[in-house]
Amino acid sequence: MSLIAIAFWNCNSKTSGSEGTTYTAEQMKDNPLVQESTLPYFAPDFTKIKDEDFQPALEYALQVETEAIEKIANNPEAPTVENTLVEMEKAHELIDRVSNVFYALTGANTNETLKKLESEMAPKFAAHSDNILLNDKLFQRIKTIYDNREELKLEGEDLKLVEVKYQDFVKAGANLNKEEKESLKGINSQLATLENEFGQTLLEAANNSAFIVRDTAKLKGLTSSEINSLKVEGKAEWKIPIQNTTQQPLTQSMDDRKTRENLFMKAWNRTDGGEFSTLDIINKIVKLRIEKANLLGYPTYAAWNLQDTMVKTTETVDDFFAQLVPGTVKAINEEEKVLQEKIKSDGGDFELEPWDWTYYAEQVRKEKYDLDEGQIKPYFELKNVLEKGVFYAATKLYGITFKPRTDIPTYHPDVLVYELFEEDGKPLGLFYGDFFKRESKRGGAWMSNFVTQSHLLNKKPVIFNVCNYTKPAEGEPALLSYDEVETLFHEFGHSLHGFFANQKYPSLSGTSVARDFVEYPSQANEHWALHPEVLKNYAIHHQTGESIPQTLIDKIKNASKFNQGFAYGETLGAAVLDFNYHSLSVMDKDFKVNVFEKESLKEDNLDLKNVPPRYRATYFNHVFGGGYAASYYAYLWTEMLALDTGKWFDENGGLNRANGQRYRDMILSQGNTLEYKEAYKAFRGKDPGVEAILENKGFD
């Protein structure tokens, strides 16, 4: 199939790029990104790829897709799935391949050249996607197929592809008339500017409104190395940078109550009025999002945004929240009592305030649940955790096996490569693990594909996981904390979703699913980290070879139940705020962010004095600066699916091949080919319920 596509590009060698630069197929004949790799699984050939190959390859790949789309849109033949949608899938192959490698490197191994190219390409990618989604001729062809889908007797992936593409176009405004489309473009561009401004303002606020201390007595409780790292050079000043959440991590060890309060208030008010105020921006964004939703035929932004998700309706999300509130609040009240008692027993005569919470919680944690990382880490050696934990669980569940491949080139010497095989020995795909922190890598952990699985394009998955573990000194073992162990299981859960993809069409394949579904398989895989059989196999002392003692396992388990009311309450508060803003259908003239925020939390019984939301609107970058508007709920929703799935495994015999196969067949291998809700219900035997969350957190 890909050969056909290459021949097709060659016929269109005369093209013009967005800035008049043209690239010909001839010029690309030695470009290792444009030319298909000859390595196993079409793995990118990092022995050949150089930084300077990216710019021409990206530009050329965009040209190729643009031309192909024009050709599809102008095809004189009547539209069919084959001559329209299948051609679109093929047209996307090259840009998908080139950009997969590009973004893998900009995330995990970047440099000045790639950074510069990344910011140059961002607006080009945005314009490219707009040009496709607002191409009316193309949309009319898709619409014709969609409208006739019954007469055409479309089924299976063909039907799903038509539905998904039609919805993508409609969601982006393809059904609007010319005038409305212009209005929408105007709104989108204003929103993009405001969202960018929001993010920039937060950054400025963070850089310019750090909390300054002029007397180290106020920092009592912090370690001397923490204090040293805050010191401003040449001045008798200590500067605490404001983190993006409401709670500031350092308050948990600050003995001076007034300093805790001042730091908290500084963070709380960082962008609420004053020089770095975001209040106006929020007003404008909320208003524009309502206008956008109305233009697209929806009463609220949330309703518009949910149309292609698992939950589908705003009522589902409101119900979900409502069911979570009582248990969470009850747990918070109980935790509050414990902390208040701790204050009293320490000789304090004051009422608990939000800036006291993490401080006293830390004291209680140390007394009751102290998990000494130094004691645990020797049992969690990276390669053991990976091969004898993460891979072992996958073998037990899915029968798949793993073989190291030292012959596959990588972009950094630390990257490990494994080949995966099915139970019957058939090849399944390639897995790259890039685990250590370095300066060229952004923070966090993630999974992505170099090659997306697709039967149409004859591709098996090539997948990578990136983490940020501390690299040990030469000859020393890489030892992980328990949180880091969980991250490894999490990211490999995404990988399994990618490896078991079994789709014809790449745009329906594997992890190409809704936001309120994509974090489900990853979190579900965390279930196996503490499973006794798995744990026994991987948690082995790197020096003595002994298995982790039960007392330590119990400590890990107990600690995971501690302070959950607070932690969950913070996140739930943020999710509810996000959703309430985007459930507005009108905005009063005298709309005030602060008033709205307080009232809307109150209405949902979440106006908790001591547990404020993890983010207020004024610094909620996911929602007002990024792409998580009306979507923050998805974190909690997918966690529910994952925990509920863990329950299903526990109720049905746990870690075995039959259970793994069922989960693989019904969920992991389905990509975006089924209705999420129905697929889940079929697997679980019932709808997901909040009980799984309440139980896991120890709420009742």
Closest by CA position to 272, among listed 622, 618, 597: 618
Closest distance to Zn ion from the beta carbon of 519 (Å): 5
Nearer to Zn ion, 336 or 519 (CB): 519
Distance between CA 77 and CA 95 in Å, rounded?
26
* 472 and 423 Cβ atoms separated by less than 8 Å: no
Closest distance to Zn ion from the beta carbon of 423 (Å): 26
Nearer to Zn ion, 161 or 445 (CB): 445
Instruction: Please give the single-letter amino acid code of residue 202.
Output: L
Instruction: Please give the single-letter amino acid code of residue 182.
Output: E
Per DSSP, the residues of 171-224 read HTTTTS-HHHHHHHHHHHHHHHHHHHHHHHHHHHHHHH--EEES-GGGGBTB-H
The pair of three-digit structure tokens given for residue 383, joined into one six-digit string: 């390669």
Q: Mutual orientation of helices 2-11 and 93-108 as an angle, nearest 10°?
A: 100
Closest distance to Zn ion from the beta carbon of 491 (Å): 7
| Residue 62 exposed, middle or buried by CB count within 10 Å (0-12, 13-18, 19+) | buried
Closest distance to Zn ion from the beta carbon of 638 (Å): 9
Distance between CA 364 and CA 298 in Å, rounded?
49
Distance between CA 303 and CA 402 in Å, rounded?
44
- CA dist list (Å): 628 to 608, 614, 631, 633, 695: 24, 15, 5, 9, 27
Closest distance to Zn ion from the beta carbon of 283 (Å): 33
Question: For 247, phi and psi rounded to 5 degrees?
Answer: -75, 140
Distance between CA 143 and CA 88 in Å, rounded?
14
Residue whose C-beta lies closest to Zn ion: 522
Nearer to Zn ion, 209 or 465 (CB): 465
Q: Is 491 a catalytic residue?
A: yes
Nearer to Zn ion, 360 or 676 (CB): 676
Distance between CA 38 and CA 15 in Å, rounded?
27
Contact positions with Zn ion (CB under 5 A) in 346-365: none
If binding is defined by CB under 5 A, does position 580 make contact with Zn ion? no
- For 422-495, strand residue ranges (E) read 427-436, 446-451, 462-469
Closest distance to Zn ion from the beta carbon of 17 (Å): 35
* 603 and 622 Cβ atoms separated by less than 8 Å: no
Contact positions with Zn ion (CB under 5 A) in 497-526: 519, 522
| Residue 18 exposed, middle or buried by CB count within 10 Å (0-12, 13-18, 19+) | middle
Closest distance to Zn ion from the beta carbon of 214 (Å): 42
Closest distance to Zn ion from the beta carbon of 674 (Å): 21
- CB contact set of 277 (below 8 Å; sequence gap of 6+): 201, 271, 618
Closest distance to Zn ion from the beta carbon of 41 (Å): 23
Closest distance to Zn ion from the beta carbon of 396 (Å): 22
Bridge partners for 432 per DSSP:
417, 464
Distance between CA 307 and CA 310 in Å, rounded?
9
Instruction: Please give the single-letter amino acid code of residue 293.
Output: A
Tokens 């097709």 belong to 8
- Count of residues binding Zn ion (CB under 5 A)? 2
The one catalytic residue among 335, 491, 519, 570:
491
Supply angle C-alpha 33, 500, 306, rounded to 5.
Answer: 90
Q: Is the dihedral of CA 469, 473, 475, 476 positive or negative?
A: negative
Question: For 457, phi and psi rounded to 5 degrees?
Answer: -100, 5
Binding site for Zn ion (CB under 5 A): 519, 522
Give the residue numbers marked as catalytic. 491
